Structure 1
């Protein structure tokens, strides 16, 4: 693991480890749904789990989690619309639209219900699914998510780790995207979404009945701790988990601990299968 100058091994939250190698699988590819070409890949056998990455990223970021789960679950990784290897259309980005994409993918795969493990924007999409498509979601592990724009730190983009991530995201986009020269326009569209969404009220959050864990890193660069605590207190019966010594990129900084948390959360679905 590489560390920034002056950062000790004990300060994982100040690092941005490399993105994992992509999942190699014969199952998946690019499919035409909801007006775009959506890229996905899947590995493993068992109850279905959809892994959703954060804004500006791609599904490779969650490859370690997929590998950790494949022995017990059917794991589906998705490049959200406009991200990674997926295309976008002229419609403005929204969490509702990305949630609709996930449902269209589940329909394509003939999956009735799935657990959602989401990081950042992926966690927001998971909560969106739980509200708007409650019959399609078994449970939601929402890491580093927010439910109001006021839950974001004002200066998170200036944080050194987050700035390094955004620079990496630009390089990844140029390497993977079907429109490799359009990163600036893509980022501008995502920024517009972040400025206005999500903004769910308490009544909307209280409609969530699927089991939810609200999870964040102790040193998250982007999400206010009080907002994470508010989410857990407002979503019915939600659990709250703060992961020590990590940030918004905990799944890279301490993947073993992060994966153990996911497995403990998903174990409820395995118990129901028995």
Structure 2
């Protein structure tokens, strides 16, 4: 999702393609597009979903680290990376359906999901629309309602035009992997339109059964209050040490971290994600 994609562009230019733990890449027809994905590691399946204007390489070192204990399926969304664009809007329900179709095509009945930014919202929508497919969800830099965006970002959305991105180094980076190097403007227009899509998922979130790890920077595009509200909708925010198990969902806030810095906090991310996926909780001195 981002949401302030100019700084995402800077990240695309400066982020190198990290070693992917010997990933195997392939292309699969999904809902009329040719979707590129990579598989690495071994263990329970974990689907990784990138943010807007990103691709698998720009997700960085977190993928090979997660592949040490999971079979990671890293996908590239419509019009991103090596996946083709099609004559269809980019919306969160569409992205979620693409992931569901991909899972059916490769024979994954159920998996853990880790999404960042746009990928986190797509992962959340996947858990809402296809609950039978999501075991646990890690959602980094996400919102469930448009009211949760920082005021500065809300003010910026009406100013977003393709010229902010077209003809910049961001486009040059995009062309390096794109099946159609001339299609950048069309993808940008769809991603700008995504920022104007209605988002009001509170009632759906209340019904969510899958455990969710919410990860946010303390200077993220969504407000801290919104992340806490999401945590409470999922049953979190209660007092521990009272003789009852903790809620299955969790909240982690990264200090001194902006939206585009979240994905680069590899050690912190892994330190939160892996115990969550393994169902581990810190021991208290009260023995609970």
TM-score higher than 0.5 = yes
Number of the residue aligned with 2:266: 255
Cα shift at 1:169 = 4.0
> For 1:197 and 1:125, how far apart are their aligned partners in 2?
14
Instruction: Tell me: CA distance 1:119–1:26, structure 2 relative to 1, closer, same or farther (3 Å).
Output: closer
Number of the residue aligned with 1:124: 121
Q: Does 1:140 align with 2:157?
A: no
Number of the residue aligned with 1:231: 230
Structure 1 unmatched ranges of 5 or more? 1-14, 159-164, 270-274
Number of the residue aligned with 2:217: 217
Partner SS, residue 176 of structure 2: helix
Cα shift at 1:26 = 5.8
Q: Is the 8 A contact 2:21 2:41 kept in 1?
A: no
Q: Encode CA deviations 1:126-160: one digit per residue, 9 max, x unaligned.
A: 111111111110010100011122222243497xx
Spell out the pairing of 1:44-123 with structure 2 (5 A cutoff).
Answer: 44-123=41-120
Cα shift at 1:63 = 3.6
> For 1:131 and 1:253, how far apart are their aligned partners in 2?
28
Q: Does 1:266 align with 2:277?
A: yes
Q: Is the 8 A contact 2:217 2:259 kept in 1?
A: yes
Partner SS, residue 198 of structure 1: coil
Spell out the pairing of 1:153-172 with structure 2 (5 A cutoff).
Answer: 153-156=150-153, 169-172=170-173
Q: Give the TM-score taking structure 1 as reference length.
A: 0.82
Please report the RMSD computed on the Cα atoms of aligned residues, expressed in angstroms: 2.3
Q: Is the 8 A contact 1:113 1:138 kept in 2?
A: yes
Aligned partner (choices 5, 12, 19) of residue 15 of structure 2: 19
Spell out the pairing of 1:173-212 with structure 2 (5 A cutoff).
Answer: 173-200=174-201, 202-212=202-212
Structure 2 unmatched ranges of 5 or more? 1-9, 157-163, 236-246, 281-288
Q: Is the 8 A contact 1:25 1:41 kept in 2?
A: no
